[in-house]
Chain A
């Protein structure tokens, strides 16, 4: 069965924000909504012995998404392939999911009142394409695919590289995997 996941290789990320701009531009998001910010950590240390790393964020498309179980209307949905998304017709904008998500991946839209988030560009996946943020990443720091497919690159990376997930202690089982710098 298909289980979508993303690997974020921070060894290769250069903090250029191309993913942020691609997501916003192609998904036609207003300026105050970002699905995938990139944070710059550093430089840490004292000149000239310093270090900088970049931390790209995205919805973790958790296996146990607290944002789904807390939704009072069933608008917050987890598909069989792992994609977590919001049914705009059912969302009442109560923001329970915004509070529940430990990764800050959900935004109440000031324009429509409902909650919006990354859906791994599900419409592009249906066309056989990759999410915008993945295709646009010229550094190949974002690798997307089917974790259940032993031939996929994400499967290989998750099983061969020392990947971590964020806040694993919460039991959310994120499906965004990080390779640290």
Chain B
């Protein structure tokens, strides 16, 4: 019954490819014959996954050969969203797209063209290169919600983001709004290994996650109250004398100011705000401070809390500094940028964008750390110390909700074209109604994707993009790691699929940028980037086959040699860079975006506290719902509700329910679980239904179970520092779906 494929037959080659269904880029061995992939498996020699693959990684061949994949450029022929397309050639599509963009640039300026990006399966340095040369500063991702403000705040106070953790020497790991057991499998393996060696695990999460199930201490805090917990930890560590005096004396400035500032934030103060027991706050703070070395692994939750986000990530960052858990063995490492190969930032041609155009970047007047004003300042500092800057893609972007608003209102100026690459904004960006209105309204839209997503359905062109087996990959943590891992194409792209690089280069050539794009394909560009490593190889493929990994020797306490890339050259517990940008130099307490104290009238109608968008197996963001080998594991969306609350609302396990905020509502099934506080509701992200009609008004059922129907993106809800909007810490109510109900979005 099971057809076995003979992989030992003559002519089968093994290609060193990778998976990119999340950010880990696990190694994949692809067995290839005659340009076809016969089989894949995890690469046992790969340092990330050591042969393992998760649910998603295992379905790579189903993804490659799926009948719903876009295989040729599609040009809209009917009304927008009518689902009527004709197949055209790449040349024809690119000629027409370039002509449209040129016309918009002539009439409205280059800044009237914006681009929305997805999650690291693209070479967005190429996108930025095109945009810089084209003249528009308005490129963006969901960056403001995912790591980027954290990176920039941490870089502001200690000169780089210590995302590289020295896990195997750690004695205490803090997972703060992070669930690697459902999102980063290789990382979870490392944590389990360390736990066997006695490492303690603290999990801070409103949800009893797969990772929390393995924790020594679980802190189920009120969604959006992370800032109160972080300030209380600082209070305990400083005022119980648990700080690292030597590190503070030798490496930091501003300790006295910070000590005075956090004196007020006692565990007793934080307890009612976080819904945690004051003694548990104390115990966990002591554990992190005294079981050194320790790590605070980055978690996305703080980045998604709206107004308190920036202050919370700032306070979290200070915890590493006061405990000396920075760049010491077993702690969080300040590796700095890669000095021995060409980084993403160096490929972006940022110097080609004029100062005048940089100033026009949407959102840069408000959210300064993640746009040109703050990025420019921080890049200057890191260049002075490290010699290089963080990637501008991701770290320096237009504010997405403000761009969607500009499309609708024409303020501060009109946005007329949107180039969408590897993202499905209707499901992935905040406040779906606003996004949908913008996508319906924008004059010209192109989507580069594998699938006909709800957003692609509204496009003028849909371009077929090559997936991980059809393209090489250079892994370097958003262009900011000091290491790199290379992977090769298993096969050339099938059908008319091409890489996103081919799309940007194809456009660039039509704008006369020929000289700036000497690399005909990604292999040539990657080879150019790694040439300086000095390996005796003549191509990217040879590099992957013979070398594949570049890990520079680990150097602890690097700051002793290079200093910290801050104005004072020290870790700034009182941040002069934040102050210079007009922000508090030390983190203030900011309450959750919606809460019962400041908004009693809202709380009366919406009595429950909501957190949206936790990652969960087997999906990633808004992907993979069409792959039946995964969908059978979880055919419907679920929300978590405590059984006591469910009983009050007459909701039983598996019932369809609405979750509603002031913004809108979404429909999912009820999962009754003791794993959440009785007042907390947790919804899943990403859901749409590829089996539904791929045209208006259904648009793949994209409004029905869409968690972003609930989220808030108005300026008053956004973090003033980094621009994060509010996915967490909202108020909601829950009720059963009745037959007479209308649809979501009504």
A24 within 8 Å of B by Cβ?
A: yes
**Does the CB pair A135–B51 fall under 8 Å?**
yes
Could you say which of A9-17, A65-73, A148-156 contacts chain B? A9-17
A51 within 8 Å of B by Cβ?
A: yes
Q: A43-B674, A47-B674, A52-B213 are in contact. Are A20 and B208 (CB under 8 A)?
A: no
A21 within 8 Å of B by Cβ?
A: yes
Q: A47-B674, A51-B213, A52-B675 are in contact. Are A25 and B2 (CB under 8 A)?
A: no
- Say which residue of B52, B188, B674, B677 sits within 8 Å of A135 (CB atoms): B52
Q: Nearest chain B CB to A151's CB is how many angstroms away? A: 19
**Does the CB pair A52–B208 fall under 8 Å?**
yes
Q: A21-B618, A47-B220 are in contact. Are A31 and B633 (CB under 8 A)?
A: no
Q: A17-B633, A116-B1, A138-B53 are in contact. Are A25 and B208 (CB under 8 A)?
A: no
A172 within 8 Å of B by Cβ?
A: no
Count chain A CB atoms within 10 A of each CB in B2, B4, B186, B632 and give the residue with the most: B2
A79 within 8 Å of B by Cβ?
A: no
Give the complex CA separation of A12 and B678 in angstroms.
Answer: 29
**Does the CB pair A16–B617 fall under 8 Å?**
yes
- Say which residue of A14, A21, A42, A116 sits within 8 Å of B181 (CB atoms): A14
Give the complex CA separation of A140 and B188 in angstroms.
Answer: 10
**Does the CB pair A127–B1 fall under 8 Å?**
no
**Does the CB pair A18–B55 fall under 8 Å?**
yes
Give the complex CA separation of A33 and B210 in angstroms.
Answer: 26
Chain B residue numbers with a CB within 8 Å of A21 are: 55, 58-59, 618, 629-630, 633
A78 within 8 Å of B by Cβ?
A: no
Contact residues, B200-243 vs A (CB, 8 A)? 208, 210-211, 213-214, 218, 220
Q: Nearest chain A CB to B668's CB is how many angstroms away? A: 19
Q: Nearest chain A CB to B443's CB is how many angstroms away? A: 43
Could you say which of A96-104, A106-114, A162-170 contacts chain B? A106-114
- Say which residue of A46, A53, A137 sits within 8 Å of B52 (CB atoms): A137
Contact residues, B29-54 vs A (CB, 8 A)? 39, 41-42, 44, 49-54
Give the complex CA separation of A102 and B57 in angstroms.
Answer: 32
B355 within 8 Å of A by Cβ?
A: no
**Does the CB pair A28–B3 fall under 8 Å?**
yes
Contact residues, B616-633 vs A (CB, 8 A)? 617-618, 628-630, 632-633
Nearest B residue to A51 by beta-carbon distance?
A: B213
Q: Nearest chain A CB to B54's CB is how many angstroms away? A: 5
**Does the CB pair A43–B675 fall under 8 Å?**
yes
Q: A136-B42, A139-B185, A139-B192 are in contact. Are A17 and B4 (CB under 8 A)?
A: no
B676 within 8 Å of A by Cβ?
A: yes
**Does the CB pair B58–A138 fall under 8 Å?**
no
**Does the CB pair A16–B210 fall under 8 Å?**
yes
Q: A15-B210, A24-B629 are in contact. Are A43 and B41 (CB under 8 A)?
A: no
B182 within 8 Å of A by Cβ?
A: yes
A22 within 8 Å of B by Cβ?
A: yes
B673 within 8 Å of A by Cβ?
A: yes
Count chain B CB atoms within 10 A of each CB in A15, A26, A109, A132 and give the residue with the most: A26
Give the complex CA separation of A34 and B678 in angstroms.
Answer: 35
A 46-63 to B, binary, CB cutoff 8 A, 1 in contact else 0: 111011110000000000
Give the complex CA separation of A130 and B4 in angstroms.
Answer: 16
B13 within 8 Å of A by Cβ?
A: no
Q: Nearest chain B CB to A86's CB is how many angstroms away? A: 10
Count chain B CB atoms within 10 A of each CB in A14, A18, A43, A45 and give the residue with the most: A14
Chain B residue numbers with a CB within 8 Å of A80 are: none
Nearest B residue to A119 by beta-carbon distance?
A: B2
Q: Nearest chain B CB to A138's CB is how many angstroms away? A: 3
B8 within 8 Å of A by Cβ?
A: yes
- Say which residue of B58, B211, B220, B674 sits within 8 Å of A26 (CB atoms): B58
**Does the CB pair B1–A112 fall under 8 Å?**
yes
Chain B residue numbers with a CB within 8 Å of A87 are: none
A2 within 8 Å of B by Cβ?
A: no
Give the complex CA separation of A111 and B675 in angstroms.
Answer: 39
A29 within 8 Å of B by Cβ?
A: yes
Chain A residue numbers with a CB within 8 Å of B211 are: 14
Q: Nearest chain B CB to A67's CB is how many angstroms away? A: 18
Nearest A residue to B50 by beta-carbon distance?
A: A138
Chain B residue numbers with a CB within 8 Å of A130 are: 51
A27 within 8 Å of B by Cβ?
A: yes
Chain B residue numbers with a CB within 8 Å of A45 are: 674
B189 within 8 Å of A by Cβ?
A: yes
Q: A12-B192, A26-B41, A88-B1 are in contact. Are A138 and B673 (CB under 8 A)?
A: no
**Does the CB pair B1–A114 fall under 8 Å?**
yes
Q: A21-B629, A43-B208 are in contact. Are A16 and B1 (CB under 8 A)?
A: no
Give the complex CA separation of A22 and B49 in angstroms.
Answer: 15
- Say which residue of A20, A22, A31, A127 sits within 8 Å of B53 (CB atoms): A22
Give the complex CA separation of A141 and B211 in angstroms.
Answer: 15
Chain B residue numbers with a CB within 8 Å of A12 are: 189, 192
Please give 13 more A-B residue pairs, beta carbons under 8 A apart, in addition to A14-B188, A136-B51, A140-B189: A16-B54, A16-B181, A16-B182, A18-B54, A22-B53, A28-B2, A29-B2, A46-B674, A47-B220, A47-B677, A135-B51, A137-B52, A140-B193
| A-to-B contact residues, CB < 8 Å | 11-12, 14-18, 20-22, 24-29, 31, 42-48, 50-53, 88, 109, 111-112, 114, 116, 123, 127, 130, 132, 135-140
| B-to-A contact residues, CB < 8 Å | 1-4, 7-8, 26, 39, 41-42, 44, 49-55, 57-59, 61-62, 181-182, 185-186, 188-189, 192-193, 208, 210-211, 213-214, 218, 220, 617-618, 628-630, 632-633, 642, 673-678
Q: What 3 A-B pairs are tightest by C-beta distance, nearest first?
A: A138-B52, A14-B181, A52-B213
